[in-house]
A and B are shown apart, each in its own frame.
Chain A
Amino acid sequence: MSQMDDALREALRREAAPEGFAERVMAKVGREERQATKSDDLSHWLLAAFRRPQLRWATALAGVALAIGTMEYRNEAEKRAEGERAKDQVMLALRITGGKLRLTQAAVRRIQYAPREQ
């Protein structure tokens, strides 16, 4: 085995997962399950209401309104996520620029205060 292989094995050895990771996964799974149960309940309720003739039109309208609302909500969430990503990129660019600026300032200072040759 080459030294590079050993160094890579060392650099890429498994890290411990962050503290409380499994608990957070289980909480996420629980939320997801509750969400799935809720949407199951809603679709059963809508189906039952749709079977009653006097509620059929109202249920259909409510269903359409719900579908449009969900679509709008998803679009809005996507736009928000895009905004967040753009913000992160700007912050990263600013950090890089800041770093370069500090390096330049240090270089300028070094030149400024360097003893001049006679």
Chain B
Amino acid sequence: MTPVADFEGMVREHQSMVFSIAYHFLHDRPAAEELAQDVFLQLFKSMGALESAEHVTRWLRRVTTNRCIDHCRRSRLMPRIGLDQVPEPSIPGGAPDLMLSRALGQLVASLPANWRALVILKYQEEMETEEIARALDMPAGTVKSQLSRALDFLREKASRVLGETV
């Protein structure tokens, strides 16, 4: 297989992961797609330095998250989504429904960039504290405490906006 065909296979394998991290971060599909494309372009240039499939996955998660944080800082994108824009859930209580998911997604997108990164890596990518710490080059204790603060903050916001649903 040629390196380009190999690379195309990698894009197809990881496109959902990279796009989703960017989308949950930015809550803007065109911006998320542009950022995800740039991540893959950077991957193409760095292919020689990556040793295994696991290394590629770790690299993609780290680079995508860091680019999202940079994007937010550069464009001062801080909360583009205000609490008043979060819709009410359609069904109070019970199984998570579509409106509740959307509302929670928007609440996550309104978090400060560092907290957002931790929440997305934990719940979208199902990563453990140590994995997140390695990916973001942070001490595990800091990840744990910031994640806990982010979740408290989310819980408080969610109970205000969504009532007793979560």
The answer, yes or no, to whether A6 is at the interface (CB within 8 Å) is yes
* Residues of A with C-beta under 8 A to B115: none
Interface string of B92-130 (1 = CB under 8 A from A): 000010001110110010000000000110011010000
A91 CB to closest chain B CB (Å) equals 12
A interface residues with partner B (beta carbon < 8 Å): 3-18, 21-22, 24-26, 28-29, 32, 85, 92
Bound-state CA distance A44–B119 (Å) is 49
A10 and B24 contacting across the interface, CB-CB below 8 Å = no
B101 and A26 contacting across the interface, CB-CB below 8 Å = no
Interface size class of B (residues with CB under 8 A): 35 or more
A14 and B124 contacting across the interface, CB-CB below 8 Å = yes
Which of A6, A10, A17, A32 has most B Cβ within 10 Å? A17
Bound-state CA distance A9–B105 (Å) is 10
Bound-state CA distance A9–B127 (Å) is 12
Given the interface pairs A25-B37, A85-B75, the reply to whether A15 lies near B16 with Cβ below 8 Å is: yes
B100 and A7 contacting across the interface, CB-CB below 8 Å = yes
Bound-state CA distance A7–B166 (Å) is 7
Q: Which of B11, B17, B124, B158 contacts A4 (CB 8 A)?
A: B158
The answer, yes or no, to whether B62 is at the interface (CB within 8 Å) is no
Bound-state CA distance A4–B16 (Å) is 24
Bound-state CA distance A15–B19 (Å) is 7
Bound-state CA distance A4–B80 (Å) is 23
* Residues of A with C-beta under 8 A to B155: 4
B41 and A12 contacting across the interface, CB-CB below 8 Å = no
A12 and B75 contacting across the interface, CB-CB below 8 Å = no
Nearest CB in chain A to that of B122: its residue: A8
* Residues of A with C-beta under 8 A to B105: 11-12
* Residues of B with C-beta under 8 A to A32: 41, 44
- Given known contacts A12-B20, A17-B16, A28-B40, what 8 new A-B pairs fall within 8 Å (CB)? A7-B101, A12-B120, A13-B124, A15-B19, A22-B11, A25-B37, A28-B37, A29-B7
* Residues of B with C-beta under 8 A to A7: 96, 100-101, 104, 166
Q: List 15 A-B contacts (CB under 8 A).
A: A3-B166, A7-B104, A8-B108, A8-B119, A10-B104, A12-B20, A12-B108, A15-B19, A17-B16, A17-B18, A17-B36, A18-B29, A22-B8, A28-B37, A29-B7
